[in-house]
Structure 1
């Protein structure tokens, strides 16, 4: 069974510059119990919402299982949606899936992997960057307006 473990919205990009210098402070709430999604734009309040360079990659997903090797908060990977029981990394580009957490189905189209960066060695543990290669999640464009909530949503693979 799939579960939305955590939702993350950040108004700023905290991982800029060099990892040894440390991340920038995140001025907004990190964890949310629900997020508002807008078709083609992303998650309301997130740094990539309606950002032209990220239109096809505005919402990121990661499987909680990818982070299970480390006793860390799943939000440290800075993906918008952390899911358990759904191997998001196995979805090919162009796949469409939908999640319904009680407010109607919100569909997403996979556009590319969300590759990890060197920051993962700083915020998770040394070696996390290499360990997350191929397991860093996916970047998607939302196809519908809607709401996602933590909990156990219904999952539908529309096309793979």
Structure 2
């Protein structure tokens, strides 16, 4: 169970930028990311998605694999993120708590739609597969390849 890719978006609507590592701050989020410091709801600190789900979507709809396409911050491998809702876990030396599933929205539907794939079909595909919203419980660094560990 590892972090396979790391992305941030410096401002709303900007392209995702891939990083080898990020600095995170307790309760604030990822330094340099558009959502840093937002507190309007739990789970805004960081988002995660499974690499396997991105690969599945791309294969099913004959797209080249693009790990930034869901606009989530961390792309994981080997962990079922749905199982981490209301669970504390670690990525490297950083503690996090899964808050809720990151269900697909109209923005994702529009972003991933194409001539043969409607926004509604995109949303339907990503229901319960869109990843996880999480809160950061301790400041530190997350590095590409960091292990993901649960207490269970």
Which TM-score tier does this pair reach, normalised by the shorter chain? 0.7 to 0.9
DSSP 3-state at the match of 2:124: helix
Residue 38 in structure 1 maps to residue 32 in structure 2:
no
TM-score w.r.t. length of structure 2: 0.83
After superposition, the C-alpha distances for 1:101-133 in whole angstroms (9 at most, x for unaligned) are xxxx10111111111122333433423221110
1:116 equivalent in structure 2: 104
Return the match for 1:64 from 48, 51, 63. Answer: 51
Structure 2: which 5+ residue stretches go unaligned? Answer: 59-63
TM-score w.r.t. length of structure 1: 0.79
Q: How many residue pairs were aligned?
A: 140
1:150 equivalent in structure 2: 144
Structure 1: which 5+ residue stretches go unaligned? Answer: 15-25
Task: Flag as ranges the 4+ runs of structure 1 deviating above 4 A.
Answer: none
Q: Distance in 2 between matches of 1:68 and 1:109?
A: 25
2:5 equivalent in structure 1: 6
Cα pair distance change 1:43/1:50, threshold 3 Å = same
- Measured after TM superposition, the shift of residue 55 of structure 1 is 4.9
RMSD: 1.8
